[in-house]
Structure 1
């Protein structure tokens, strides 16, 4: 029996570490998930267990090569961003994998922005709101001034996806999807590193840039592989849509954050957009992707717990609530304008039942979503909105979104393991002789409400 040709994808999230094998039709033929207990850095702050992650990467590939039913043609990696692994000349990590939520020293933040022209100018050029350690370039800046003995040992600082690739290939590269994502490193107008990266000696700690669509030839466990250099997970999740649709669209990727991504918005980031939490990601093709962020998933989780307590229901009772246009009409009446308060400020005793209060919650979230998404549409040629993630399965959210954007086609979209599929698609031509399948994305159309 012939072994099935596959690609292996290591998909590393903050919580779950996943390993997939996809066949040439992008069907999952093997899946494994692990979770690691966090450790702490030298300051006692929580951080990824880098030793366990490294061992998992190496041992998992060995395990896969021993599965006789599969012929692994290629490997690629996707992982969360804003995370550097700092290695010395022999590839050994010289520092913890610092958590991007680790507090950033205020004195150093002030020095940086004072030296380089202020928060707004730097943010506009780098398309990076001021986010502390979430601006991963600032982690290197911090090491230089607070831990120079560690900084001096660094040969290369690799973003996490590129470190995972390095474990297999032994070759250090940087990837534009990681470098270009709210790092403070990239000068978007000049399409190069920002001046501060050169002046501070940071550039020499960054490995050469390499295309996300190309591969490195490598040999491991007596087998040859074509190996991608890895991608930032948010950019990777966009790839199935870019591969399947040529006409302009926006994607609302929903989870804890609802991130509206517009790969077709070519307008430079403005000061006003920055103040409203807009930024730019970078596509695997090296093109800016304007994005806006809304903390709506977190709000939904918090407020549904409050609803459950008040109405004596299970925490997930909202999953049973169906869209009811009569409730929406009763709540909005003759005043469909956006409310001036958020749901957290509302008195739940004003609502006769859970269902009515939950419709009010989604209405309040939708007004925020409307404003957030409008920030990045800015193009009359965009006429489709795709929604993936948790809210794509929420009929009330989807119906209200269709009503909020009556001139757009609104779809709930589903891609099984979109981030992992994106990493496989990025290097499709190097391992897969078959054409791209047309059924990677499942779509459900939501029509705007009819006028009776």
Structure 2
């Protein structure tokens, strides 16, 4: 039998289950998907009952499998989501979707009590106030659904609820509490004063390190059960554990999130920057982050270029960086793309494509997007002395994106990594006692070094 760690990695769309051996190699995986249901207002939400049934069924099947010996289990999920339990441990409400709109008057009253807004957002590391801040969900419930709120014994973030399903022990941990919840005061390293004034701390379980685990018998088997971890913090963990020097990680996809886990100044200074946010490491240390809707805008603009030049939908995947094209574009550089999901003071009022070849227009597009990415990375570095940059996710294999970033950050050491396991692997590492060495990323993440090109 192989000794394994079991991980449930729960995204909004895909629900995944992995088994990792002692070298963190994937030895088993299983995926599923549930159709959303509706809450009492008709808004789409997670099918919590179906999720719970699937979790238990999958895990109990694995426990019975003759080829695996499960030593530990942990949970990585999306954030900004609470499960509310009554005194009998029963779920009281739907898992309210963090995109669900709430009445602006509730936020206005909240800010009258606990504002001004700029100071509040600074100290809590948030960029707005909505249900994307799970603390606001508690406030909304207290005043919008008081009869329900009175029945709440514990409110658990989703990763901790999944752990609770297996342990029956309600807990809170740093990465979930520290993820744009509006609950945490980064200047005091404690819950914000509003949490105590509203007496919300009474329904928030004991706060523990994310590395905490519960040793218990589950179906007659001795297993170490983790408390769960927020997926963004989980994806960062393998880097923090294996790299000895300071770095910034740029995790790319629909959103490009730049993470600085070594900042001396986690508090947002410029409140005009709505794309700055704070996360928390597993030990409670702050992570400064900036976000850019990079992948979303890329998809919109590339689709337009495909139609404009009459090429196939995957044509862009085969375009490689061309030195001469880049030099030509930069002779009299002009911004030519009007963004649809990004704001930029340099963009024109209309998109203007003066090129006859897709490749030229694509180089122009990537140059402009990378200039936005550079700004986002510089903002997250601030005045910190950081010389290493790691790129993972969807853009790590985009030749133009990588070569342009390597050129513009030629005073830094830039590396790309490739791991579709991301947050799942982080959750496994979090619950493990083993140390990671400097070769971990090379061995498990296809680490690649990149050298900047030189303009003659």
TM-score bin (small chain): over 0.9
Question: CA 1:433 to 1:291, structure 2 compared with 1: closer, same or farther past 3 Å?
Answer: closer
Residue 415 of structure 2: which of 411, 418, 442 is its match? 411
Task: Determine if the alignment matches structure 1 residue 398 to structure 2 residue 379.
Answer: no
Given that residues 73 and 225 in structure 1 are in contact (C-alpha distance below 8 angstroms), is that contact kept between their aligned partners in structure 2?
yes
Residue 292 of structure 2: which of 287, 291, 294 is its match? 294
Deviations 1:162-217 (A, max 9, x none): 00000000100001100001000001111110011111121111111121112112
Given that residues 264 and 384 in structure 2 are in contact (C-alpha distance below 8 angstroms), is that contact kept between their aligned partners in structure 1?
no
1:305 maps to what in 2?
303
1:190 maps to what in 2?
188
1:160 maps to what in 2?
158
Deviations 1:267-319 (A, max 9, x none): 14233156241111001121100001111111011111111222222322211
Distance in 1 between residues matched to 2:408 and 2:436, nearest whole Å: 40
Question: CA 1:433 to 1:324, structure 2 compared with 1: closer, same or farther past 3 Å?
Answer: closer
Q: How many residues align?
A: 447
Gaps of 5+ in 1: none
2:26 maps to what in 1?
28
Distance in 1 between residues matched to 2:319 and 2:298, nearest whole Å: 14
Distance in 2 between residues matched to 1:312 and 1:407, nearest whole Å: 39
2:66 maps to what in 1?
68
Question: CA 1:380 to 1:152, structure 2 compared with 1: closer, same or farther past 3 Å?
Answer: closer
Given that residues 279 and 289 in structure 2 are in contact (C-alpha distance below 8 angstroms), is that contact kept between their aligned partners in structure 1?
yes
Task: Determine if the alignment matches structure 1 residue 385 to structure 2 residue 393.
Answer: no
Task: Determine if the alignment matches structure 1 residue 346 to structure 2 residue 351.
Answer: yes
2:16 maps to what in 1?
18
Distance in 2 between residues matched to 1:20 and 1:115, nearest whole Å: 45
1:440 maps to what in 2?
444
1:204 maps to what in 2?
202
Distance in 2 between residues matched to 1:335 and 1:59, nearest whole Å: 58
Residue 362 of structure 1: which of 366, 376, 400 is its match? 366
Deviations 1:104-156 (A, max 9, x none): 21000101111102211111111111141111110111000111111111111
2:317 maps to what in 1?
319
Cα drift, residue 102 of structure 1: 0.5
Gaps of 5+ in 2: 338-344
**Matched residue of 1:139: which SS?**
helix
Cα drift, residue 218 of structure 1: 2.4
Question: CA 1:218 to 1:133, structure 2 compared with 1: closer, same or farther past 3 Å?
Answer: same
2:50 maps to what in 1?
52
Given that residues 243 and 438 in structure 2 are in contact (C-alpha distance below 8 angstroms), is that contact kept between their aligned partners in structure 1?
no
Cα drift, residue 343 of structure 1: 8.1
Distance in 2 between residues matched to 1:351 and 1:135, nearest whole Å: 44
Distance in 2 between residues matched to 1:37 and 1:77, nearest whole Å: 21
2:424 maps to what in 1?
420
Deviations 1:366-416 (A, max 9, x none): 111111110111245311100000010101000110112121111111234
2:340 maps to what in 1?
none
Given that residues 127 and 274 in structure 2 are in contact (C-alpha distance below 8 angstroms), is that contact kept between their aligned partners in structure 1?
no
2:235 maps to what in 1?
237
TM-score, reference length from structure 1? 0.95
Cα drift, residue 68 of structure 1: 1.0
Residue 270 of structure 1: which of 253, 268, 271 is its match? 268
Query: Is 355-364 or 28-37 further displaced after alignment?
Result: 355-364
1:279 maps to what in 2?
277
**Matched residue of 1:183: which SS?**
coil
Question: CA 1:447 to 1:345, structure 2 compared with 1: closer, same or farther past 3 Å?
Answer: farther
Deviations 1:234-261 (A, max 9, x none): 0000001001101000000001111100
Deviations 1:415-435 (A, max 9, x none): 340101101111211xx5998
Question: CA 1:303 to 1:189, structure 2 compared with 1: closer, same or farther past 3 Å?
Answer: same
Deviations 1:21-47 (A, max 9, x none): 000010000000101101111111111
Given that residues 16 and 35 in structure 1 are in contact (C-alpha distance below 8 angstroms), is that contact kept between their aligned partners in structure 2?
yes
Given that residues 169 and 217 in structure 1 are in contact (C-alpha distance below 8 angstroms), is that contact kept between their aligned partners in structure 2?
no
Given that residues 240 and 440 in structure 1 are in contact (C-alpha distance below 8 angstroms), is that contact kept between their aligned partners in structure 2?
no
Task: Determine if the alignment matches structure 1 residue 450 to structure 2 residue 448.
Answer: no
